[in-house]
Amino acid sequence: MCLMVGVFIFFFGVIFLCGRFSHFLSVLLVFELLTFGVFCWSSSCFVFSSNLVGCYFCLIFLVLSVVEAVMGLSLLVSSSRGLGRVAVKSFSFMGV
């Protein structure tokens, strides 16, 4: 059951990632949705296999996803202080 939920959450996040976003915070939330889906999928796979190395992998993956969230929020805060806007279009170097 958890395996199916993890795969569903991941594909739901991929569909949202293909959409158009106008705010940087919504992109960060979709990235968190993707990492949560991968974490649910990997934790259910490793629990069913009863592998201790898999549990350590899930713990390391969870720590790296927290680091990713903190780095994204720090980028959001620094850009809003420096530029005054947090639109995704303002991060584009091409200007398209």
Tens-digit pLDDT profile for residues 53-80: 777 888 888 898 899 888 888 877 877 7
The radius of gyration of the chain from alpha carbons, rounded to an integer in Å, stands at 16
Question: Is residue 96 one of the residues assigned to a domain?
Answer: no
23 DSSP 8-state letter: -
pLDDT means over runs of 10, the chain (96 residues): 78 80 78 86 77 80 88 80 64 50
Domain coverage including residue 35: 2-91
Question: Is residue 77 one of the residues assigned to a domain?
Answer: yes
**Are residues 39 and 48 in contact, defined by beta-carbon separation less than 8 angstroms?**
no
CATH number at residue 57: 1.10.287.3510
**Are residues 14 and 22 in contact, defined by beta-carbon separation less than 8 angstroms?**
no
**Number of domains observed in the structure of the chain:** 1
